[in-house]
Structure 1
């Protein structure tokens, strides 16, 4: 069985998109998702995205990390499938319904309302999520935000000096985070600019992370470090994050289609 796909990326955070909105796709599971995401033996991507029909939105999107685990949301992938759809869309996800709209600046996505309660992150036990009384080596006192998936954010003088390849997996798998966590290290450069690196849960260090940019911006806003409209620059490029008076987060940035192809399903089973 030949299965078509679209390879896309948002600021270098890359995706394989399988479109099952019209023709049904084979069932997706962790083994198949991780096999397709493999950089050397598969198509290669940070996340695999499966589009399906929805009874509550224009369509449904499921997001699978490179290790095969399923995530509730993916900001960069939401922009990519917004580009693929080509018009305003309501997208059903495990993290809630997102709204994607094409604009002159790329794709704008209403990411919904952030959550801050310790059991909404979730954490293993109750604590203040604005300034958490925990640390890992040089990283301490983080803030935590759930924007469809869990994020912990550390504000540092130089985010590029942090050994994320070593500390990222340690923090991701710490028992404090029962569903694991995305790890963000950020440097506030001005009231309107943040520099960011992200270790993504299930994917590792990526060039960009849309939900990480949203979580980091909101975390900085909660601490009074930045204004409610900021530019977040990641290794792959810059996103604009706004946190409105209605408590909803809007993320705006580019998305790109790289190429299209197909694969033989039997080769990955």
Structure 2
């Protein structure tokens, strides 16, 4: 059966999106999504999302990692599916949709290419040696480094993700370098099992961790550069809890087509 798909990217984090309000795309096993996300034998993407109807929200986001398995929250994916919902005429400039970690509010530009997505509140950040560990919808490990441009993120990130502490549940590994007026971030993502050009929940975790590390308080805006471009995190921090957290950045439709599924 031919299925229509749309390709979106948010700061280089790319996704396959399918309008599944009629439930025509039937997820049966990991291989269906795995094949579509394959960059040589499929469409190619960091993940796949189904947009589905929901009784109490504008829509539901169902997210699959590139390995074919149902994933935890994806921040850039969330921004892309909001842009997709606007393209389909489901929403205008504001929405509340349901994801795996609960409801999310978002606001999109009139042009439909910039999305501010509200993330879940964070009450605490733990430490693992020099690293910060927290869950921003997905679990993250945040480690400050120098010389990030030349770091072997794949090898070092894979080693941490598969360490005894994190191997079973998995964790996303973020390396961050303070470059004065912004933070530079590179991320090894579980589920993709590789470095991605951006990770929305990852840069959110970085911004919150660095606010705690630098003892910042009040309303904070943190500019972040990733391999795929620029993102911005806005939040309120009282020295203990993080509230009103927004992941802000581009969400762009790249192309559309049909694929045999």
The one of 240, 246, 249 aligned to 2:245: 249
For structure 2, list consecutive stretches of 5 or more residues without a partner in the other structure. 87-91
State whether structure 2 residue 117 is matched by structure 1 residue 109: yes
Secondary structure in 1 matching 2:243: coil
Moved over 3 A (4+): none
The separation in 2 between residues aligned to 1:28 and 1:7, in whole angstroms, is 22
Distance 1:225 1:198, change over 3 A: farther
The separation in 1 between residues aligned to 2:197 and 2:190, in whole angstroms, is 14
Distance 1:31 1:226, change over 3 A: farther
Deviation, 1:25, is 2.1
The residue that corresponds to 2:89 in the other structure is none
The residue that corresponds to 2:98 in the other structure is 92
Distance 1:21 1:208, change over 3 A: same
Could you give the per-residue CA deviations for residues 27-71 of structure 1, whole angstroms, max 9, x where no partner exists?
A: 253221111100111111011111112233211111111111222
State whether structure 2 residue 255 is matched by structure 1 residue 259: yes
Could you give the per-residue CA deviations for residues 230-264 of structure 1, whole angstroms, max 9, x where no partner exists?
A: 10100111111011256131011111101111111
The separation in 2 between residues aligned to 1:50 and 1:28, in whole angstroms, is 14
How many pairs align?
245
The separation in 1 between residues aligned to 2:245 and 2:68, in whole angstroms, is 27
Could you give the per-residue CA deviations for residues 81-117 of structure 1, whole angstroms, max 9, x where no partner exists?
A: 1111122221211112111211378111001212536
TM-score by length of 2: 0.88
Deviation, 1:226, is 5.9
State whether structure 2 residue 210 is matched by structure 1 residue 220: yes
The residue that corresponds to 1:124 in the other structure is none
The residue that corresponds to 2:224 in the other structure is 232
Note the 1:24-103 alignment, pairs <5 A.
24-86=24-86, 87=92, 88-103=94-109
For structure 1, list consecutive stretches of 5 or more residues without a partner in the other structure. 118-128, 134-140
The separation in 2 between residues aligned to 1:23 and 1:63, in whole angstroms, is 15
**2:23/2:52 contact within 8 Å kept:** no
The separation in 2 between residues aligned to 1:196 and 1:161, in whole angstroms, is 12
State whether structure 2 residue 143 is matched by structure 1 residue 154: yes
The separation in 1 between residues aligned to 2:102 and 2:149, in whole angstroms, is 32
**1:115/1:146 contact within 8 Å kept:** no
The residue that corresponds to 2:175 in the other structure is 185
Most deviating of 62-71 and 203-212: 62-71
The residue that corresponds to 1:208 in the other structure is 198
Q: How well do the aligned residues superpose, as a CA RMSD in angstroms? A: 1.8
The residue that corresponds to 1:4 in the other structure is 4
TM-score by length of 1: 0.85
Deviation, 1:162, is 2.2
**1:8/1:257 contact within 8 Å kept:** yes
